[in-house]
Homo-oligomer: A and B are copies of this chain.
């Protein structure tokens, strides 16, 4: 048996901002059979995660940046792997059978062959949560927020926490976790609607629209008259500079993303190093994948918070594999409100 697999690729390496013409919807026949002994699995993808970091994988790198590329660059014409939820169609792996619902790295496409099947995990049917949650809040976005806040920033009750891109997939959760830890939390976002959402639905103590501020430094001084203890950075650039200027002694910065710098490579944060030294500031980059030891804690804690309503889930869902390029490009324009997911098929 064979299906036509529609999937998204890049047409060339991307420099600067991503445009629609950088992407292509390819169609290729896919035989629904696996090599005995391969452990391979073929899945039908139900929903996939859309994340800004993918842009970094789509660039071409000079040798001096080989570490970043080594993370795993995306080649033009090839399927693009991403976290998703899928249904097993064919399995040579004894741990999975047809119709199992799984979460793991699949592709921005309708079907995926998962080699060896090793990285997939069965969806726990007992949680009775929407399947998309497993690709978002209970996936890498959630683990990123959890690890970055708790491991890198170590929040204490009463700490003042600032989160940028606070309506994004990671930021909204960081703020909610920080509130549950007894912190004072202010977020920034790029529209009035998002600001309202942060304050009214997601429980932030305060929020502001950075596009309405002419001076980020004094805006932060206004929102944090007693200074910032923790800055969870999703944007880099001038917001990072302003946050460092407003950090308290022993302030911590979790460097999670730098979306402002992903597209415009020339625009870089130049934090005042005199502040960094005298205030003993720690700026620490991190990746969720280094914190897998937290995964089961993260999953049980977060699932419970969702089930008892202590954490609100904010998703932004587009429909159909063909919507992926615009969904992705929209991340950099701030189109999404919450975790961006593309739903590819019904269960």
Taking beta carbons and an 8 Å cutoff, which residues of A are in contact with B?
Answer: 56, 64-65, 67-68, 71, 217-218, 221, 233, 236, 240, 245-246, 248-249, 255-258, 261-262, 268-287, 290
Contacts and interface: CB of A to CB of B under 8 A. Distances in A.
A144 to B, nearest CB: 11
A233 to B, nearest CB: 8
Contacts of A282: 282-285
18 contacts: A65-B245, A67-B248, A67-B278, A68-B275, A68-B278, A71-B278, A255-B273, A255-B276, A258-B277, A261-B274, A268-B273, A277-B285, A277-B286, A280-B284, A280-B287, A280-B290, A281-B284, A282-B282
Given A280-B286, A282-B283, A273 B240 contact: yes
Contacts of A269: 270-271, 273
Nearest to A279: B67
B68 A274 contact: yes
Nearest to A253: B283
A270 B273 contact: no
Contacts of A261: 272-274
B277 A287 contact: yes
Given A56-B278, A71-B278, A280-B287, A64 B221 contact: yes
A285 B280 contact: yes
Looking at A65, A257, A278, the one whose CB has the most chain B CB atoms below 10 A away is A278
A278 B68 CA distance: 6
Among the interface residues A246, A270, A271, A274, which one has the most CB atoms of the partner chain B within 10 A? Answer: A274
Contacts of A284: 280-284
Contacts of A285: 273, 275-282
A68 B261 CA distance: 29
A171 to B, nearest CB: 15
Given A67-B249, A249-B67, A258 B273 contact: yes
Nearest to A286: B280
Contacts of A268: 270-273
B256 A277 contact: yes
Given A67-B249, A67-B279, A221-B64, A56 B274 contact: yes
